[in-house]
Structure 1
Amino acid sequence: MATPGNASPKGEPTPSSTAVPTSLPQKRVLDDDHSPAVSSPLNPEVKPLQKVQIQAPEDGQSAMSREKRTKKDTLKKRESKGAGGGGGPDSARATPDPKQQQQANDTAPRELAPMRYKLAPPKPTDFEPARGPVFTGHHEVQDTEGRTVEFFETSEHVYNKKNFQYTHCIADPTFPSMFYYRNTEPEPYGAHMGFEDAAAHMFFDKAGSHVTTNKGFRMSRANVAVREGRWYWECKITKGILKNPGEGDPVSHGHVRVGWARREASLDAPVGFDAYSYGIRDVGGQKMHMSRPKEFFPPGEDLKEGDVVGLEIQLPSENLHRKVVKGEYNPAVDLIIEEEAAAGNHVHKIPDEAPNIIRDRIPIRFKQHIYFEKIDYQKSKELDDLMNPSPMGSAGPNGSSEPPNPNHPLPPLRTLPNSHIKVYKNGVLMGTPWENLLAFLPPASKLLQQPGGRECLDDGSLGYYPAVSVFRGGAAEVNFGPKFWYPPPGFEGVVDQDDTLMKDADAADTDSGQQKEESNNNKIRAVSERYDEQIVEDTVYDIIDEVGFWMQDGCKVLDRNSLFVVSGKDGEKLVLAGGIGANGEAGLAPGAAREEIKELVQDD
């Protein structure tokens, strides 16, 4: 944060200049430590400056009668000498290029830590397990197999909107340095369509696997995101275009679109509406991206009720992804290493770099629920211009007229090599509608700018999410595996015996360790597996944050001089900081003055 300068107070009188000094002040000796610490393109050979001794004028000599100075080279000449590597004092004093200096500052490694908030101790109810939404029955539908699907209206939960994202949290006595709050998950456990990460006026079943609406296009994202590797999921059209409409029957019972969407994708629009999502339309099987429908399925090949759409995505490793967004991608080297690593060849394998996850979040209360509130990612001007090109800026000097590619001058317009989405219909591969998907790691994605906030952070929620859009009665059922209706070729998970010979992934095999790793590097996986990985990642990140805050406090837990005890699960006693007041709520520790968790008010 910028600090105010030492500016003079407004209205201060200007010092009088009538007094003339009798002699000029002496110039101090230039020390060696004033030479640059590191070399730069304009300063290739750092050499200590020679000490220059300035003698005082002799007695009786006028202060203004000095020796004639030696004419020095101009700034341009000194810079050209410095850039040319000529060395010498002039080259050492060459003025650095401001653009290069700014780039160096932007790419310099910085020690980042999550924001920390001082809050009042938690209430005893904050230690209770997280609860899902309240389900109120709305209507029932019959699917193509004659099953009755009951849809519910969800309430008493918060929606991801107004540029904020919410995840469930719980108070835990083993996390005192984080003021007891950590991530948690409510029922139904497992991969499902997100109740919080959906537009309003959408209806779900209690398992989160069926979705519909009676309004215009609404979208819901799943509660899992994929960031690297190959992943697959399915979606069955429950209500949509009729397969064999009878006389007097409507053409459709609604519409459905399915695909993959990033965090920035709008929930009040169909998947494929903007540059942040890729979708398949049920009418004609057209592919949708940036609201531009293009032919993909063969003519007359619609997606109708009972059809199953399979969606496979392939993303490069996060190591290669980070090189792309940082502008360090070299296809002549990095692409070969990536392909060799995927094939199990570790000769040129570069050690994996762990992602730097920074989560700026604060616990909030909403209708007896506890959530972590985080700033969500914002749409970028570059991708908005890509969707709706401006005649004024289409040929600007910033490279916006250049199509997206891995080495684009603008990070949001950089694409991921070897990335694609494949689409299947009822187990038949229909093709690959999209290749070279847009990158999503920072700085390709940025958090919404807030006063004092930070925008180029990866909070772990970035990636491509399975997404379903429904329109006026359209309904769909998702299947994230591991038992698929139509498993894709090469899938090694557990599938239905009626469709394919069962193969247990946990069965013992005689492959060597390297062969197993090779299979895991390039095999296709069910999105349900990603849910388990996310739980592990959240646990690890919570522990890292707790240890980091504990070290900031001098490796000790603060504010534990007043304790109270509440009953935990199975009669377990939980010892907490603070005190219990007469009303049964947690009180502050002696001398503590912290803010209570805010109550969130959000319109349904």
Structure 2
Amino acid sequence: MSTEESSPKPEPTPISAPISSIPQKRALEDDHQPTVSSPLNPDFKASKDDVPLARERASRAKKESLKKRESKGADSTRATPDPKASTQKHKKNGTVLAPIRYKLPPPKITDFEAPRGPVFTLSHTKTTGPFETQFYETTDHVYNKKNYHYTHCIADPAFPSSLYYRQSETEPFGARLNFEDTATHMFLDKAAHSVTTEKGFRMAKANVGVREGRWYWECRILSGIPRDGMHGTDQSPRGHVRVGWARREATLDAPVGFDAYSYGIRDVAGQKVHMSRPKDFFPIGEDVREGDVIGLEINLPSQSLHRKIVEGHYNPAVDLEDDGNAPTDAPDIIRDRVPIRFKAHLYFEQIEYHASKELEELMNPSPVISSNGGLAGGGQKPSPTHTCPALRTLPHSSIKVYKNGREIGTAFKDLLAFLPPASKPLAQVGAREGLDDGMLGYYPAVSVFRGGAAEVNFGPSWWYAPPDWRSNDDDDVDMAGSDQPRTSKLNRLRAVAERYDEQIVEDIVYDIIDEVDFWMQDGGVVGGATNGIRPSGGVAMQDESLAGGGIREILQDDE
């Protein structure tokens, strides 16, 4: 991605008020008297002994945080976050954190218009057996590459404290392949359910990811290994297809199962692939051919158990079961993002999570000496209690495979954990480790190769329903006093399409939480922004030098 700026880049938000006037959350002490003033107690006068103590604590925390950011290098093409512009709300490893706040110019009138999807240009029509699909080249949208992740956003006057911007969606609505999370030089249909390419292996991920529970989707091979007698005189390339589940960090310019961040099934001999190591899985002599439907079921433990594992609190002698009905704490979601413009589109730009050195070393089949002076991962196999968080696995996790409604078996068990610190962002200015942005998880993924084509189905209407499929209507008829225990939401097999609605709700909740947090930074003032500065003397929202411009614009090259 080559990045150019058509307007002055956003600058860090300055603090116009002294730090002692901004309410700081702190640990409770024996003396419940506040050490600093607040909007609820403006007339409080701290003693001489208390003020230096409060300033010393705040200053020490901020200097440490700033030093960490400076030590990770700089990226002159990106907006620079202001470490002083965030209120302290969340705690990670003893450090209090909240979303980074940026100084931005006011939104344009067009920023309040609903976001639009890509432009479709007809490429070709592919016919295989009874299936005919029109494939289009998609343009005028950004790609998740070059270490950044993008989600659509829109300006909304109901969110003045967060500079009017909130997350949004584009057509076609619903669970589908993600235009932004698809490799370049791929062709999709207008519903974003079918995909093909004329190049080598490339991957497309869904726009929904799963974090806990049992989920199912299926994929039909439109073009691949031909059935006997189906290819006739057609000499066009049939290509190959791989299907599976992939994490955020999985590279798009490779097949599913290429690295440690994805698990795939290849059409040739029906082999399972992880870290580029194919192993026999389907019955001998059985391929995945054109017209076949491959069903993929993933089973993930609860996020509460997942957090125990990645934080090093998991005890296999105690945590024997994962009760999906047990109450759990809500995940601590912190999204560091800034709005940017790409052609006629608005996006939130976030620093992407990147491949860890430990998992890259794990892929090497030769026992080489790693940078830490030992074998990759310390010579230990991945496990729930591994010393390295990136190499910790999830008990009770698996991927089960079906073919045309027939269960083939469990292809993978003990999947690798993905919650921080198992996942880390790329080290650069603005990147903070240990934070969960709410979009980490396993995503349905399809890879195609030189004419291979596939169609995805995220339910809940299936081509071949799995044997234990129960729809929501079936679950609603369970009666009290029945001999059969009610299936928990965590254990019930669900369609990936259901996850789309859940993600929308989560985005709305997280946007509101961020808005309230920024509103509290400004002393609880609703609206009333004058020249970009809150009347309360809070955070300055706009610099005069940016008043005539707009938010930063970017350019991407399709390489």
**Deviation, structure 1 residue 390:** 4.7
**Deviation, structure 1 residue 311:** 0.1
Residue number among 166, 173, 190 corresponding to 2:157 in the alignment = 173
Residue number among 392, 416, 423 corresponding to 2:369 in the alignment = 392
C-alpha contact (below 8 Å) 1:296/1:433 kept by paired residues: yes
2:438 is equivalent to residue 460 of structure 1: yes
| Number of the residue aligned with 1:596 | 550
Letter in 2 for 1:353: D
Secondary structure, counterpart of 2:95 in structure 1: coil
| Number of the residue aligned with 1:354 | 330
Residue number among 474, 478, 488 corresponding to 2:466 in the alignment = 488
In 2, the alpha carbon distance for the partners of 1:261 and 1:590 equals 42
Residue number among 347, 361, 382 corresponding to 1:371 in the alignment = 347
C-alpha contact (below 8 Å) 1:242/1:304 kept by paired residues: yes
Structure 1 residue ranges without an equivalent (≥5): 1-36, 38-105, 495-503, 564-576, 578-587
In 2, the alpha carbon distance for the partners of 1:279 and 1:354 equals 31
| Number of the residue aligned with 2:218 | 234
C-alpha contact (below 8 Å) 1:416/1:436 kept by paired residues: yes
| Number of the residue aligned with 1:470 | 448
2:392 is equivalent to residue 414 of structure 1: yes
In 1, the alpha carbon distance for the partners of 2:443 and 2:170 equals 19
**Deviation, structure 1 residue 331:** 1.1
Secondary structure, counterpart of 2:347 in structure 1: strand
Q: 1:396 to 1:161 in 2, by over 3 A?
A: same
| Number of the residue aligned with 1:24 | none
CA displacement 1:5-47 (0-9 Å, x = unmatched): xxxxxxxxxxxxxxxxxxxxxxxxxxxxxxxx9xxxxxxxxxx
Q: 1:400 to 1:510 in 2, by over 3 A?
A: same
Letter in 2 for 1:138: S
**Deviation, structure 1 residue 447:** 0.7
| Number of the residue aligned with 1:281 | 266
| Number of the residue aligned with 1:213 | 197
**Deviation, structure 1 residue 400:** 2.1
**Deviation, structure 1 residue 593:** 5.6
Q: 1:251 to 1:281 in 2, by over 3 A?
A: farther
2:285 is equivalent to residue 300 of structure 1: yes
1:87-236 aligned within 5 A: 108-145=93-130, 147-236=131-220
**Deviation, structure 1 residue 112:** 1.4
Letter in 2 for 1:133: P
Q: 1:352 to 1:282 in 2, by over 3 A?
A: same
**Deviation, structure 1 residue 332:** 1.4
**Deviation, structure 1 residue 473:** 0.5
C-alpha contact (below 8 Å) 1:224/1:530 kept by paired residues: yes
Residue number among 449, 472, 491 corresponding to 2:427 in the alignment = 449
In 1, the alpha carbon distance for the partners of 2:551 and 2:315 equals 48
Range with bigger deviation, 252-261 or 107-116: 107-116
Aligned-residue identity in percent: 62
Range with bigger deviation, 387-396 or 376-385: 387-396
In 2, the alpha carbon distance for the partners of 1:596 and 1:521 equals 45
Q: 1:513 to 1:187 in 2, by over 3 A?
A: farther
In 1, the alpha carbon distance for the partners of 2:555 and 2:452 equals 31
Q: TM-score, normalised by structure 1?
A: 0.72
1:241-320 aligned within 5 A: 241-245=225-229, 253-320=238-305
CA displacement 1:89-116 (0-9 Å, x = unmatched): xxxxxxxxxxxxxxxxx97343211111
In 1, the alpha carbon distance for the partners of 2:176 and 2:236 equals 30
Structure 2 residue ranges without an equivalent (≥5): 1-28, 30-90, 535-540
In 2, the alpha carbon distance for the partners of 1:413 and 1:177 equals 40
In 2, the alpha carbon distance for the partners of 1:540 and 1:514 equals 37
In 1, the alpha carbon distance for the partners of 2:227 and 2:553 equals 49
In 2, the alpha carbon distance for the partners of 1:144 and 1:263 equals 34
| Number of the residue aligned with 2:525 | 556
**Deviation, structure 1 residue 248:** 5.6
In 2, the alpha carbon distance for the partners of 1:462 and 1:589 equals 32
**Deviation, structure 1 residue 392:** 1.9
C-alpha contact (below 8 Å) 2:298/2:398 kept by paired residues: yes
2:537 is equivalent to residue 543 of structure 1: no
C-alpha contact (below 8 Å) 1:395/1:401 kept by paired residues: no
In 2, the alpha carbon distance for the partners of 1:556 and 1:514 equals 56
Secondary structure, counterpart of 2:412 in structure 1: strand
**Deviation, structure 1 residue 244:** 1.2
CA displacement 1:526-555 (0-9 Å, x = unmatched): 000001100000000000000000001101
Equivalences, count: 459
Q: 1:334 to 1:280 in 2, by over 3 A?
A: same
In 2, the alpha carbon distance for the partners of 1:165 and 1:180 equals 20
**Deviation, structure 1 residue 521:** 3.0
In 2, the alpha carbon distance for the partners of 1:251 and 1:186 equals 34
Using CA pairs below 8 Å that are at least 6 residues apart, which structure has the higher relative contact order?
A: 2
In 1, the alpha carbon distance for the partners of 2:153 and 2:125 equals 33
| Number of the residue aligned with 1:425 | 403
| Number of the residue aligned with 2:498 | 529
Letter in 2 for 1:435: K
In 2, the alpha carbon distance for the partners of 1:512 and 1:160 equals 50
In 2, the alpha carbon distance for the partners of 1:180 and 1:404 equals 44
CA displacement 1:330-369 (0-9 Å, x = unmatched): 1111123x1xx24x5xxxx4x3111111100000011110
| Number of the residue aligned with 1:380 | 356
In 1, the alpha carbon distance for the partners of 2:391 and 2:128 equals 42
Q: 1:295 to 1:529 in 2, by over 3 A?
A: same
**Deviation, structure 1 residue 148:** 2.2
In 1, the alpha carbon distance for the partners of 2:132 and 2:152 equals 31
C-alpha contact (below 8 Å) 2:237/2:451 kept by paired residues: no
CA displacement 1:131-155 (0-9 Å, x = unmatched): 000000000011332x421100000
Whose Rg is larger?
Answer: 1
**Deviation, structure 1 residue 251:** 10
